[in-house]
Structure 1
Amino acid sequence: MIKSLRNQLVLALCVLASIVGVVQGVSSYQLSKAGMSALLDLRLEQVATRMRAGFAESLPSIPARGSQSERDIVITIWKDEQATPYRSTEPSLPLPRDAPAGFVTTAVGGDEWRIYTLREPSMVIQVAQRSAVRHELTTERAVNTLWPMVVLVPLVWIAVLLVVRRSLRKLNSLGAQVQAMDVSHFQPLSTTGVPIEIRPFVDSINLMIERLAQSIESERKFISDAAHELRTPLTALQLQADNLQPHIAPRNQERFRELRSGITRSGGLIAQLLRLARADAALQAEMVTRVEVGAVVVAAVAEVLPIAMKRGIDIGADEMASAFVQAVEADVGIAVRNLVSNAIRYTPDGGQVDLSVQVRDDMVWIDVTDTGPGMAEELLPRAFDRFFRANTQIEGSGLGLSIVKAIATKYGGSASLRNRHDGQSGIVASVGFPSA
């Protein structure tokens, strides 16, 4: 399971709030029960005091047995040495006359009672209440104190979630900025509104971005300079080879052709390196125009058509939607030509290459589908790496798809590669540009 800082914070704070709520609830519950019990004791004591003040005479001398509710208190008054109570609200209940002064909890008549005894020289006053009734009253009042906690704890959970989400919103924004970066768009992360605790981390990332940008810029400059420096001597070497050909002995013609082939491959590699350097270069807004994608595709196909015809490869078009993009026309042409050239290179003689132009989700997609052998699924993510070649038996520089990716990225587009799943072998190579 992927760990989430937000989830960990929310869980930890919710657990802490829950523990505090439970402890507070238990404390309130116990304190409420103790307070209610003390209040009921005070009530018994006050009733006994009233009986001593002369209210005893108001009690009936012979009450009806069993006429009192079980929830009522029972009052019994003893006088002098009489064996029977002087007054009692429930004569059938034999309260213990010899109970000590004050409060005592004891069993009487099969029930547990809480009895308060007030002793006077000529009178003993006892006020009793069933313990079950007291427990019911105290529990009912104590449970009522738990309702605020039951409501408050979920509200605290919601508040914790909202606070943590709001606190980490800046991190999410920084994460989105980092995710949007690519080799053609390096921008330092904004430190506005960043918490103090995260500032050193953001500064470290900005320093890393700066160093990475410098390193990539150095690599781009090296590739561009090397390609420019190598192009001139290779061109001169090609001219010298052409001039030398008539003077080569017939028995050395095969070796000479291999030499010229090597020079041609080197020249192609230098040309690809120059295209890669241009694709990586910053976009110049004044060179951007409204480009008709269909016309670019037709021009790219016309350029590679002689090679396809020589090998018997059929180049067709499935769907050619009318679409326009804002770009440098040469860049779009290079991207399309690289995809088509790649498809022809990997398609066997007599195969088929189909092109289509579609507009999907405000993107203009150019799809090139071949009938080649396809590619192992685990190699597909590496297909756009520079100098990567899935099949070393087929001639190529390993830069064609890298150039396509760099051009698409420069315009905010995308490039993809996938195997066909329509019952035939082959690759579907796609490049997309934002629709104009």
Structure 2
Amino acid sequence: MNSLFGRILISATLAVFVLCMALWQWFSHSQTHNAQLVQQSLHNELAAHMADINPLLSQGVTSSAALKEAFHDFMLLGPSFEIYTLDLAGNVIAYDAKQEKIKRPQVDTLPLNQFLSGASLPILGQDPRSNNKDKIFSATELQTPSGEKTGYLYVIIGGELFDNWQSLTNEQQQLTHWASGALVSFIFAILLFVLLVRHFTKPIAKLEHSLRSLNKDGEQALALPLNKRAPREITQLTEDINHLLSRIHRQHHDLVNQQQARQEFMLHLSHDLKTPLTSLQGYIDTWLLLPADKQNRELIEVAARAGEQLQQLLSQILQLTALENGQINVHKQAVNLQQLLHDLQQQFAPRAQSQKVELNFHAEPDLVIHSDPQLLTRVLNNLVDNAIRYTPKGGYININLQQHDNQLWLEVTDNGSGMHKHELSALKQLSSNQARLESQHSLPQLGVGLAIVRQLVALLEYDIEIESTPGVGSTFKLAVEPLS
């Protein structure tokens, strides 16, 4: 029952069975109608002939004991006829039957008048021997010699005895008809189902065979062959499956690359963490081994800076994790760029002075941009931190604004060690949406700081351009949005 084969077979059998029964009912009704039409047409003048040959009826007599004998003689015509005389109101007057046989003492005269006026046959009239049956009949008016109407001669065609025999025959044949109909329906449904399965499921079988024979090896994306002669639904299903296989292949490829990227990133991260941790541990051990009178405060200061660097790396890792998990939202507002750059320069001034690096951050006093101040500060903070780390003594770090092609660019420039091609390709983005999808692939080539920049820029929906030459320096350009 749960298989496609079983469901189609049962549905087809039921549909054919219902159709056969409906056709049989229609055929039976049509056959009955035609039989009534033939019978009533053949006996159309029966009542008139009876009235003409009987002396009493021809004189317009409707109630007489002698009529019963005449009716009995008329019954020699066959048991299918029942003869009655009616008055003008349709009341039954004379008949050849027992009194208890008469169930309806009055019949409607409208069908009689329609019959006498030549209306289309068959016409059904009420049966005096039944309260709910209408039957075909023959009728004629009874008149006196002077032409006065006295009533009707009413002849039922197919009387009670005929109905009894017909009912008995129908009961015997009904079971046979139903059994024959069910058997024919089932056989026809089986044949129809076999033809449908052969015709309609052949493309499905080919599609299923193609799915099972897919090559599971190799780096190429899996695809099903297109059958141009297949029905439109099968062709569309094949295209949809191929599209899904292509997406699965791309996602699998991305997952493999992402896994590899994370492994490489962990190697870089362990190196970044190991350097300050080793320095911290080394200086502390050295300080502890020296005699008390020779313990130098400078060793503790170097160890403290290594601890600060380690703390900063851990903070960046937490930021990167929050970005990857989508826990940081953008809240853009009006930002005074000059104030933001002034606070940033004050933050990095002590470190820049200790490493003899010049900081030049400039923006117009009245320039207001539309951005998230916290996220933009994080971007610039990581760029400046990275620049100070790789800029030699006597170098410089500049932040200023440039107008190019009707676009305002915030440029961060240094004369440090620069970046290599693989690092540039990892940081550059094609679009903000694509950056969100591809951001994790660039982690191992960038380090934690620039990986954070990569995701923050994508989150802010900023375009970024990078120009860098190893040994010469780097320039990071952010397309900012002035507040209109």
State the TM-score, normalizing by the size of structure 1: 0.39
State the TM-score, normalizing by the size of structure 2: 0.36
Q: Which is greater in Rg?
A: 2
In terms of fraction of residues, the more helix-rich structure is 2
